Amino acid sequence: MKKLGLLLLFVSTSLMGQKASKEDWISMFNGKDLTGWTPKIRNYASGENFGNTFRVEDGKLVVRYDAYDSFNERFGHIFYKDKFSYYRIRLNYRFVGDQAINGPGWATRNSGIMIHGQAPQTMGKNQDFPVSIEVQLLGGNGKDKRTTCNLCTPGTNVEMNGKLFTPHCINSTSETYHGDQWVKAEVYVLGDSLVQHLINEQSVLSYQKPQIGGGNVSGQEVVFGTKGQLLTDGYISLQSESHPVEFKNIEILNLEGCMDPLALNYKSYFIKSKPSDCTFKKKRK
């Protein structure tokens, strides 16, 4: 297990002599409503929040099924408005209550953070999952070992240890978290170079070169991407897979920006340079 020094020593070795910038974490959720988020539920159009599945309760973004007479494979996702490439995302999650009627057995206490995903507007009306990389979030059943922050690959593949990894899912090395306890999940993403999963600041899984390929997505009306195409960026979404789940403290740290130390908006923790973002003091005439 590695603490959040991360496998890359987190830029510190390349910033000798530079004063470290304060991390500018952005809250993705305002705690009041779903501004900035778009739901996409299977069998419904993008933006239609069937049954008020995704809602806000007590400052949390939650998933509920009280309006469902049967789950009926209505897998859902709620997408954040912006695409990202190099970043860290972190949140707290917990599973509560009972699974929706006729929810699949494998989906008990099951949700996820989808990264590098297609936009909700590009999904077919009957499409079940976005083409994306899934950071699978699982809760324990009270007795058996069940890791979390695993990897699943709807419509994608990755490389692990220098080789193409084609199975749909692989378990992390995390502990099991039973009951309704809050768990802190984080994902560290460097474009198509590295993705790392962390639980309670412990590294539990990493892989490289996320790319188009594989199956496990149905209902696509327009094929998204081409086989072998590397995923360098994409949309982030949270899952609805038939078990009530709650999210809070949803934050993102963009690692792409101005890397010119003379700029007003320079950040020492940026990893990917974006010169067009740089702003400078105006010279006096």
* Residues 160-202 pLDDT 10s: 999 999 999 999 999 999 999 999 999 999 999 999 999 999 9
Structural domains of the chain in order of their starting residue, each with its CATH number: 9-254 (2.60.120.560)
* Spatial contact of 118 and 128, defined as CB atoms under 8 Å apart: no
3-state secondary structure of 247: strand
Tell which wins on pLDDT, 83 or 9: 83
Query: 């083409």: which residue's tokens?
Result: 131
| Mean pLDDT, rounded, of the chain | 93
* Residues 120-166 pLDDT 10s: 999 999 999 999 999 999 999 899 999 999 999 999 999 999 999 99
Q: What is the DSSP-derived secondary structure letter of residue 171?
A: -
| Paired strand residues for 114 | 134, 237
d(CA 195, CA 210): 8
Output the pTM of the full model.
Answer: 0.92
* Spatial contact of 184 and 201, defined as CB atoms under 8 Å apart: yes
